[in-house]
Structure 1
Amino acid sequence: MREEPTGRDGPTRRRYLRLGGAVVGGSLLAGCTGGNDAGSTAASATDTATTAETEADSEASEGESETESTAAGESYSVSMAPMGEVAFDAVPETVFTRLTHLAGMAFALGRGNSVNAMHAPNYYDGVWNQFTPRLDGVELDWSGLYSSWTPSKEKLYELDSDVHLADPASVFAEDNWGMDDIEEIAENVAPWFGNAYSARHQEPPEEWADRYEYYGLWEMFERVAQVFDAGPQYDALAEVHAGLLDTIESDLPPEGERPSVVMAMPNDFEQIYVYKVTNPGLLTAHTRPLKPVEALGDGVSSGDAIDIEGLLEADPDVILGNGGMAPGTDMAEVRQNLEDDPVAGQLSAVQNGRVYAQAARYQGPILNLFQLEMTAKQLYPDRFGEWPTYTEGPYPELPEDERLFDRQRVADAVNGEV
């Protein structure tokens, strides 16, 4: 794929994008026409990166993708469940999203500021901008965008996006959305291209079950990169990711020396939402490769709410504080409250000073790189270097010899300088 998108004037580009939407709309009720049975997978210059992701992600699917040449005047198509094959004739410029793993993919490809909608935009603008200071020349502004967790059809017409990086099955599951509405937006505005239930391998609505597949984070990112004709940027970032996984996998301690871990933010001691760290899905793409011991037993599911006594029963060696890097969260205060509570103070993670901040579970590729690095240091400081005591503010500026991946290479990829 070429690095530079095919240029077109606005009306012509929109007309062809709507034709692409019609391809999707025609397949929504009839099945994934030509999608999951595509005869060949788009070639990648980083087969080793794809292999590394497949080995690291037990949920890696067998779904294939197909991209035609994007030379001037020629269309191209990209396949992903549950949409099937989606046709484009020009690279999308304005981007609707819901969940931030897909907004984060647009950001990783230098199109973060092309996003016009997302879930909790002001919150996630703050989270993502804890990392941009470590990437030279990378800027992002999601503040004030349309908050799209429960999107309205009328708003999608108003936004008039070039692509909807959102799972049509998950939008269908919202109130006031039917299959006809999904098809209408695909035909009259722009195609859908997203997959949400790979987050935790949840069951999609039964109307979509026969066409659904689950993808690893970087598998999905490769397909999104094809939508934006951004193969060189994907290849550069996938190479960094593969190298980071190699660094981690080559120096993991023996299983018996790994800590037990839970992801939680214990602010309200009566209702603590806890998440398992080895479950399949996008949400554990930064913890699963580190192969920690699961602190929560089979009686607790990821996303359950427990009280502080239940957390003490699990008694993890490490607590990863979900959302602890969000602006406004004071990790020093979080730790002090835990130490002062007569029950929470008994937790091994609290007594040993191993309550750490994390950023976001719905991570895109760039956050995944940083969170892999930070979590490796948090779990295995003897192997990967100490993690600084974090209280608030941007991602710490680590000395160059203590970094596990090349920031400049990542910044260059985001900025299209590859």
Structure 2
Amino acid sequence: MAGDASEHEAPTRRDYMKYSGTVLGGALLAGCSSDSNGDTPEQTETTTGTSTETQQPDDQSYSVTMEPVGTVEFESVPETIAPFTADYIDMLVALGQADAVQSIWYRGRYKTIHYDDLDGVSIDLDGLTQLWNAGVSKEAFYEMNADVHLIDPHSLTDWLATWDQSDLEEIRNNVAPFLGNLIFRHTDDWHDYRYYSLYEAFEKVAAVVQERERFEAIQSMHEDLIETVQARLPPRTERPNAALMFAGKQPETFTPYRISGGGANKEHFRAVGIEDAFEGTGVEGYTGSESLDYETLLEIDPDSLLLRYHGRGMTRAEFEDTVIPYLEDHNLGSELTAVQEGRVFRGGPIYAGPLHNLFMIERYATGLYPTQFEEDQLIDRDRLATIITEGVQE
């Protein structure tokens, strides 16, 4: 493993950021205790609308608690932050902290098209350190020298399995602490500690960067959007189901990815009442090996198709000019109900942050229910951009 501790005798860890040893104990290395369902006592608590930090009255220090790490203490707001998955980067962008972002685990998994609709909102994707390069090097962490790693440590030891516990300890002690929770899916056996919803995790990140007002303003927009959409949805029996799948630009096979599987990257589907077309069919979720051909898909015949991995950064227009015509001209694909009735959509990013979430709720509500949502836009883009770029105005 690159970045041996002997090559970095002078610690670079920030003096103003430290672990609360009495709270953490072995949580970083072993995760948190849980019952057989992976639930912990904290899992029944509602964090929305409540503070996730504690602050001492006589100084500027504060702490943020998030499983599986525990409590991290800050003596000032971190200026440089190293996230892993794009959902956490999107949170930082939403909180006006794009310049603090240092890293991404894989650039191709970060969709930024929605920023084009928000005046003044952007991020330098090419300027981020890509952490995945045939593994994850510790040397990249030393070179970034970030103030905090917004990374679930189990992402490195269990999901990608490129580090062991000693690697985590080395970077924690010599560079900066970890804080984060892998939230995009709920299907990993090793994730035996609390999951957070998208907005629960977003609130934790807001506490890290001390941007409570921005968080609450965006949360309010999200709640208003949900209320508007759900008040106008047709009865459940009249809502189309959908098959969420990975597919290429000219798909001949499809890899299923279950809407019902849980996780932050599916919260927008639930918000607009989409049912899983694979429910009760025996089709399992994503395993990396299962695939469906057109014959099998025709037997299920979903009302809608939600396709992912059709091309990095492909716009809606590009999708409609390439993927959809291919399906319409395909001798079997053209027989699918979803194709014939014009309900083929991009499936959205795998790592969906709060800004992704807002735009996808709007996209699927207006796309799936054109009678109920005749307007093209349900989000006040100017208001959202102002919150991000200028903060909350009095």
Q: Same fold (TM over 0.5)?
A: yes
* Residue equivalent to 1:289: 271
The whole-number CA distance in structure 1 between the counterparts of 2:177 and 2:146 is 9
After TM superposition, give the deviation of residue 326 of structure 1 in Å: 4.2
The whole-number CA distance in structure 1 between the counterparts of 2:53 and 2:41 is 13
TM-score by length of 2: 0.83
Once the two structures are superposed, the pairs formed by residues 8-23 of structure 1 within 5 Å of their partners are: 14-19=14-19
* Residue equivalent to 2:197: 216
Report whether the alignment pairs 1:158 with 2:127: no
* Residue equivalent to 1:367: 356
Is contact 1:121–1:144 with CA below 8 Å preserved after alignment?
no
Is contact 2:53–2:62 with CA below 8 Å preserved after alignment?
yes
The whole-number CA distance in structure 2 between the counterparts of 1:119 and 1:82 is 20
The whole-number CA distance in structure 2 between the counterparts of 1:380 and 1:359 is 18
* Residue equivalent to 2:295: 309
RMSD over equivalenced CA pairs, Å? 2.9
Is contact 2:12–2:145 with CA below 8 Å preserved after alignment?
no
The whole-number CA distance in structure 2 between the counterparts of 1:12 and 1:187 is 9
Summarize the Cα distance change of 1:279–1:382 in structure 2 as closer, same or farther, 3 Å threshold.
farther
* Residue equivalent to 1:244: 225
Is contact 1:122–1:142 with CA below 8 Å preserved after alignment?
no
Aligned mate of 1:255, from 233, 236, 239:
236
After TM superposition, give the deviation of residue 31 of structure 1 in Å: 5.9
* Residue equivalent to 1:186: 172
Is contact 2:109–2:349 with CA below 8 Å preserved after alignment?
no
After TM superposition, give the deviation of residue 30 of structure 1 in Å: 6.8
* Residue equivalent to 1:142: 125
Q: Provide, for residues 59-108 of structure 1, a one-character-per-residue CA deviation record: whole Å limited to 9, x for no partner.
A: xxxxxx74122767332111111111111111111111221111111111
SS at match of 2:232: coil
The whole-number CA distance in structure 1 between the counterparts of 2:217 and 2:164 is 40
* Residue equivalent to 2:36: none
* Residue equivalent to 1:398: none
The whole-number CA distance in structure 1 between the counterparts of 2:32 and 2:216 is 27
Matched letter for residue 15 of structure 1: D
Summarize the Cα distance change of 1:30–1:358 in structure 2 as closer, same or farther, 3 Å threshold.
closer
Summarize the Cα distance change of 1:365–1:405 in structure 2 as closer, same or farther, 3 Å threshold.
same
SS at match of 2:213: helix
Matched letter for residue 180 of structure 1: S
Is contact 1:25–1:186 with CA below 8 Å preserved after alignment?
no
Report whether the alignment pairs 1:201 with 2:198: no
Aligned mate of 1:103, from 89, 113, 133:
89
Is contact 1:21–1:186 with CA below 8 Å preserved after alignment?
no
After TM superposition, give the deviation of residue 373 of structure 1 in Å: 0.5
Aligned mate of 1:230, from 199, 211, 226:
211
* Residue equivalent to 2:254: 272
The whole-number CA distance in structure 1 between the counterparts of 2:346 and 2:253 is 19
* Residue equivalent to 2:342: 353
Identity %: 37
The whole-number CA distance in structure 2 between the counterparts of 1:324 and 1:286 is 20
Summarize the Cα distance change of 1:185–1:235 in structure 2 as closer, same or farther, 3 Å threshold.
same
Is contact 2:92–2:101 with CA below 8 Å preserved after alignment?
yes
Q: Provide, for residues 295-315 of structure 1, a one-character-per-residue CA deviation record: whole Å limited to 9, x for no partner.
A: 113411222422222222221
After TM superposition, give the deviation of residue 342 of structure 1 in Å: 1.0
After TM superposition, give the deviation of residue 319 of structure 1 in Å: 1.1
The whole-number CA distance in structure 1 between the counterparts of 2:327 and 2:23 is 54
Q: Provide, for residues 237-287 of structure 1, a one-character-per-residue CA deviation record: whole Å limited to 9, x for no partner.
A: 000000011011111111110102112354354431222223321120110
Which segments of 5 or more consecutive residues in structure 1 lack a partner in the other structure?
1-10, 48-64, 386-400
The whole-number CA distance in structure 1 between the counterparts of 2:348 and 2:309 is 5
The whole-number CA distance in structure 2 between the counterparts of 1:14 and 1:407 is 37
Which segments of 5 or more consecutive residues in structure 2 lack a partner in the other structure?
1-10, 34-39
Summarize the Cα distance change of 1:384–1:251 in structure 2 as closer, same or farther, 3 Å threshold.
same
